Chains A and B, each alone.
Chain A
Amino acid sequence: MTSFFSNIWLLAKKELADSFSSSLLYVLTGFFSLLMGWLFFNYLVLSSEMTAGTLLQSVFNPIFGNMNFIFLFFAPLLTMHSFALEKRQGTLGLLLLSNLSHIQIILGKFIAIVLSTIFMLSFTLILPLILSFAGYSQWALIFTGYAGIIFSICCYVSVGIFASSLTDNPVISAVISFCILMGMMLIVLSANASDNPIVGEILSYLAIPFHYEGFVRGAVKSYSLVYFVSVTGFFLWLSERSLESRNW
């Protein structure tokens, strides 16, 4: 069991080193932090009363909503190289011939990218910290908001990894993952438009925002956890199938 995780960490460490030595992560982090800071400032100025309840509703809820939306674009960029580049530079064979199983390779890459995005997110922790000086103290809601965004990111990254396993072209990979993610976001429109309440409920359940919003409001439902874990697991499993198909 230890060897299972140490193999995953071996690859994750290397992937993290690659990410932190590439300019892409820093450019995206800089852009993301700047955007979040600017949005935070604007929402704060627009907020009429500075009470804990209104700050949550008029500042943090939209901030978390925007974060989720931005990662819809960032996740394909962060994941597009994961397998596409390995194929292009001929190193995928090196990994496939190693002691690592397919699932260990996929999890190694998944963990590294999720940790990279957590690094990006960590800069936004300064926002609630600033408000804490003004007396804001609803930390549980901030915690569930961040938990929700991390669960969403896990879904996005798993989709991106799957898309990257299908092609050796990073741009095509980014486009595929963006289309899948956009589709998962837009399901909510079909849910709203549906006349049949059961179909509407089912479609709502399949849409990421439906579950994410619960986390932001502090209403963490067990079915939302099941949804995030299932979607992430499903796309990681598809990635494994995609790697396996190379043997044949």
Chain B
Amino acid sequence: MRIILLFLCCFINASWAEDYSPWLKEFRPSSLSQQQQIEELAWFKQAAKPFQGITIRAISERINTHWYEATVIAPLFYQLTGIKVIHELSSEDDVVKKLQSQMDLGINYYDIYVSDSDLIGGHFRSNKVLSLSEFMREQGKQVTLPSLDVNDFIGLAFTTSPYNEILQLPDQQFANLYWYRQDWFARPELQQQFKAIYGYPLAVPVNWSAYEDIAEFFSKHVKQIDGHKVYGHMDYGKRDPSLGWRISDAWLSMAGMGDVGLPNGLPVDEWGIRRHGCRPVGASVKRGGALDSPAAIYAIQKYVDWLVRYAPPEAQKMTFSEAGAEIAKGHIAQQIFWYTAFTADLSHPDLSITDDNGKPLWRVAPSPRGAYWQPGMKSGYQDVGAWTLLKSTPLKRQQAAWLYAQFNVAKTVSLRKTMVGLTPIRESDIMSPEFTQRSEELGGLVEFYQSNARNEWTPTGLNVPNYPALSALWWQYIGRASDQKEDVSKIMQELAKSMDAALAKISHETRGACSPKLISSQDEALWLAHPGSPKPKLENEKPPGKTLAYSELIKQWQP
């Protein structure tokens, strides 16, 4: 009897070992067939054998996609592989600080990070981030998924060094797009009123002049819709780290401060930093940068003016996370740029910005461009959170963590994760019938990601040599304009000067072929007369407002 029981026990265990139903049940839809999924799952199970019993720590920012990873994918990965994952969720600022501390001190706080690719300029210069290209060829070869298919990742260009080495593996992506209430814009009485005041149709703004007019229209002329107070603009202004992202992510690029070039302006990028070869050489106009140029002052002045004149008064004291919840309340007509990572949060049927069937009453469209913008420049910001291994992490832990990273983006898992978090990373997911079918409920997100426009919305690039060190400057200075109402022109001069000083400090601390090296200061007029950025002040910074029907604009996004 005992022998029979023993046999039964072993038989059941063996059957369980081959039973992938918990994973197949959760990870659907998938771009793979069920048999291909089983093959991938079996590969992970086999590859993880040397690491069973190990516990690894991962950290990422707090968005829906990472909540799904931490609460669903990590436990299923553990069940499959025996590798336990503590997947921590924290604020982006905290993730950056921990990563930077580990890079500076060499202490293994985490085994793997989901780090925004905005840090790529520092990553490739630091020599502290593991080259995934090399790792996949050598020490990580045995733990690299044969069906990973790196060419399927749409954001790989943003995570690759100038030496063509992949430094980070994309895990989630989202863009900053214009957001507006299509149902309000479509109301005949509002269309007539707008045309009567401004002389052109109420539709999606193509330039900042139109955005400003629409903001004024809703805040100062319409004032109330269906008995409720409404506003023509939403933003936030509290002197807090999250304010910095607002500006460095997209404001200055949309205004047109930098040079033409994709993914980032060259030689001057959207941070206003000039690069000679691979060396950053200055941010102030005196050093050929653009951070205190007329275009930068124009951009920040508009940001402050719109916040004060057209946003709800409480927005001036709000942070990113506080402001994020506002548009769901249904009193905002438009927002110049909005992070699509929150698409799922705005699609609940019980919100006042969705109809009775749960379909959105809002749409996303390309963000309007400022007076200095020229064709060939980036059109906005895209966030690419990507798996990043540091050289200071012990090899065995790197290997186990790499398995976890790949599991989160493997084709077995990826489409399901995309459907939950709406932050697509793979071409195969984006073009899948399942994602395409959600077009109607996602207000333009599907069309954006299926088009080539996604390549014009780009992260911070190679001109920024140390993102954590330099990003702290943004919120500290811009906050003085938004929160304390100091003079914008003076603040931008001080910010540019501080950015130059910070670049000089980095050049002393990290010496290398691509480390910053400030060029000597010259008369600003010489640089302003020079072609490209920094650009001289335009005689007219408010050209006539221009709008386009959503149906026309969306054509730009059709494949």
A binds B: no
Query: Which residues does B use to contact A, with CB under 8 Å?
Result: none
A-side residues, CB < 8 A to B, are none
